[in-house]
Amino acid sequence: MAGNEFDLINRYFKAQPVSRKDVVLGIGDDAAVMTMPESSQLVVTTDTLVAGNHFLLDADPMKVAHKALASNLSDLAAMGAIPAWCSLALTMPSSDEVWLKSFCDGFYKLAEYYHVQLIGGDTTKGPLSITITLQGFIPSGKAICRHGASAGDWLYVTGTLGDSAAGLDVILRDNTPSNDIENTLLHRHYYSTPRVLAGQSLRDIASSALDISDGLIADLKHILKASDVSAVVNADQLPLSDELLQYAGSREAAAKLALCSGEEYELCFTVPESHRGALDAALTHTNTPITCIGQIRHGEGLNVMWEGKQVDWSLSGWDHFSA
């Protein structure tokens, strides 16, 4: 059943599973109105996914929706924020309601899990793209930023790394997994787990943090530049899944994937020596695995080590405008 813009809004966006008490006015007016908690600061992030760039045109819209919202949730997780409200700007070549229903099913499932209410947005005709702006809040002065790392801090990541890159490799090869391992990696590419609770638990422990969206080796450099420090990463200590190890064929090949794998949406963070003892206890209730992969040092640059020796693997992360 095809419909005009306002039919689509009424059918797919006005009715949704999340209704927050702090939303005074949601979808249906010129703008939304929300009430901020006292002694809190607003945290805002925006991400865009473009068909043919971030996902294939024939990709499952339910998976695409999860990926789109998860990328925003991961940004707020890295800041230690509580996600609350989002807006969605959706551009489609046509009013394909089969595609839209599946997209909304995936979107609302993740939004409901994190108690995020869709409060507005825009629908337009054009090449397929998805832009989400997610808003949340954090106790005043508690945001975890990129510029707080100091020499001597320990470097950690959550979860495992490299699965998303391997899943993308399956997609770009022929988009048809040939075994259970490839099925698992493909699933992990689309269905990342934003570390929202872990981020909140790190507020008084981590000195800096960010989420891994463009690859660890690229994203970590943002912390190093903002904090005016260097780092040593022990690539042989990177957390790797059994599926990635089997897919890559060797631990070294898997580690290389892990260093440059984008769209992981795991957290990379630094912890002062004085806070290391509190780290495990703080994350216990989040059921989030963490791994220490290196240390922050004085100076400049990022040094990658393998079994105690510095290596130059000439790896890089994702860059939208690279040649």
Residue ranges for the known binding site for substrate are 54, 263, 318
Kindly compute the dihedral angle of the four CA atoms of residues 135, 228, 220, 115, in this order, to the nearest 10 degrees.
-20
Whole-number Å distance between alpha carbons of 49 and 52: 9
Nearest of 65, 125, 62 to residue 95 by alpha carbon: 125
User: What is the secondary structure of 285-300 as a DSSP string?
Assistant: GGT--EEEEEEEESSS
Q: Which two structure tokens, joined as six digits, stand for 145?
A: 């930023």
Q: At 40, give phi and psi (nearest 5°).
A: -125, 160
Please, which residues bridge with residue 268 across strands?
Answer: 157, 210
Question: Which residue reads 């912390």 in tokens?
Answer: 223
Whole-number Å distance between alpha carbons of 198 and 222: 21
Whole-number Å distance between alpha carbons of 319 and 200: 28
Annotated binding site for ATP: 121-122, 146, 213
Annotated binding site: 30, 45-47, 54, 75, 121-122, 146, 211, 213-214, 263, 318
